[in-house]
Amino acid sequence: MGKTKLTMTIPPNQITGLVLAGGRAKRMNTQDKGLIDCAGRPLISYAIDVLNQVCSDILINANRSLEQYKTFGMPVIQDATTTFDGPLAGILAGLNVASTPYLISIPCDCPKLEADTLRRLVQALETKNGEISMPHDGSRAHPVIMALRTHLAPSLSAQLAAGERKIDRWTQKHECVLIDCSDNPDQFLNVNTPEDLQQMEHQLRTKPS
């Protein structure tokens, strides 16, 4: 028997989705990770699919291959800084562009991520009065996957201007809610190396339909 889909009280038109694809991917021989083929389709397409189940608007954060990313049919935005400052710079770019009260950020290389997890993150901002929410797999948090209120843009801008790139240094300044996802930690597996890619392709191709 399948799981019951979580119903959100926050409608999709109040949520902007952001796919983070702006990294340098050094462990992938600097290939543009979001465009790498994984089980017959670009890695980023999995992220777009899962966000489409939760959000009305989706942005792609990228710093190269911009024309290729534009072929996915959604706005492509570059980091708010020019020095590859990590995920926070991409998240700030999304916050600056979003016209909705809420933003969900996810990486481009996490193809098993479930839509219900994203729904739970967004819902926690309302039910638990959080400013930021992120999943915890029972062992650790996954802060690049987060839902947050877009009014936090000035705070994040100040954080990066001060030279602080660590996500936890910023999130600890705000009301941050951890969501227990220990029932399915495998959804947070990501692709950082060619070996990871090979393993992920095998998992996706053998996944029960």
Structure confidence at residue 4 (pLDDT): 60
164 alpha-carbon distance from chain centroid: 20
Of 59, 68, 58, give the one whose Cα is nearest residue 34: 68
Q: Look up residue 98 and give its amino acid.
A: A
What does the domain layout of the chain look like in residue ranges? 12-205
Please check whether the domain covering 12-205 is classified as CATH 3.90.550.10. yes
Residue 1: its pLDDT value, please? 41
Taking each continuous run of H as one helix and of E as one strand, the counts in the chain are 7, 9
Beta bridge partner(s), residue 179: 135
pTM over 0.75: yes
Q: How many angstroms separate the CA atoms of 60 and 71, rounded?
A: 11
86 DSSP assignment: -
Query: What's the one-letter identity of residue 57?
Result: D
Three-class secondary structure of residue 102 per DSSP: strand
pLDDT per position in the chain (209 positions), as tens? 455 667 788 999 999 999 999 876 555 566 789 999 999 999 999 999 999 999 999 999 999 999 999 999 999 999 977 777 789 999 999 999 999 999 999 999 999 999 999 999 999 999 999 999 999 999 999 999 999 999 999 999 999 999 999 999 999 999 999 999 999 999 999 998 889 999 999 999 987 65
